[in-house]
Amino acid sequence: MRLIDPIPVRPRAMPPVIPTRTNQGVDARADAPTATISVMNVYNTDQPFPPGTRIKYLRVVQQILKENPQMGSPMTGYQNENMPKIPLGVVPVEEDGSAYFEAPVERQLIFQALDENYMAVQSMRSVAFVHPGEQLTCLGCHEGAEKAPTKPLAPLAMKRQASKLRPEIGPIEPVTYYRTVKPIFDATCVPCHKKESRGPADMDYGKMAPYAFWFAGGMSRTTMLPIHGGSRSIPGRVGARASKLGQTLMAPGHKGKVSAEDLHRIIVWLDCNSLRLGAFTDEDKQMQGQLVWPKLDVDPANPQGLEKPVRATARP
Is 174 part of a structural domain of the chain? yes
How confident is the model over 208-225, as a mean pLDDT? 78
For residue 208, what pLDDT is reported? 95
Q: What type of residue is 204?
A: D
Is 14 part of a structural domain of the chain? no
Summarised one tens digit per residue, pLDDT across range 174-215 is 999 999 999 999 998 988 888 888 888 889 999 999 999 998
Measured distance CA(188)–CA(246) in Å, rounded: 15
Is 278 part of a structural domain of the chain? yes
CB neighbour list of residue 136: distance below 8 Å, 6 or more residues apart? 35, 36, 37, 38, 103, 128, 130
Measured distance CA(255)–CA(240) in Å, rounded: 15
Is 41 part of a structural domain of the chain? yes
Q: How far is CA 286 from the centre of its chain?
A: 21
- Checking if the pLDDT of 139 tops 70, the result is yes
Measured distance CA(72)–CA(221) in Å, rounded: 13
How confident is the model over 274-284, as a mean pLDDT? 96
- Checking if the pLDDT of 223 tops 70, the result is no
Is 117 part of a structural domain of the chain? yes
For residue 315, what pLDDT is reported? 52
Is 27 part of a structural domain of the chain? no
Q: What type of residue is 115?
A: D
- Checking if the pLDDT of 166 tops 70, the result is yes
Structural domain boundaries enclosing 276: 32-287
Summarised one tens digit per residue, pLDDT across range 80-99 is 778 999 999 999 999 999 99
Phi and psi (nearest 5°) for 244? -65, -40
Phi and psi (nearest 5°) for 242? -95, -10
Q: What type of residue is 159?
A: K
**How wide is the angle at C-alpha 302 spanned by C-alphas 34 and 178, nearest 5°?**
135
For residue 231, what pLDDT is reported? 75
Picking from 33, 155, 140, the residue whose alpha carbon sits closest to that of residue 94 is 155
Q: Are the CB atoms for 104 and 58 separated by under 8 Å?
A: no
Is 70 part of a structural domain of the chain? yes
Is 11 part of a structural domain of the chain? no
Picking from 171, 214, 185, the residue whose alpha carbon sits closest to that of residue 300 is 171
- Number of structural domains (the chain) is 1
- Checking if the pLDDT of 143 tops 90, the result is no
120 or 313: which leads in pLDDT: 120
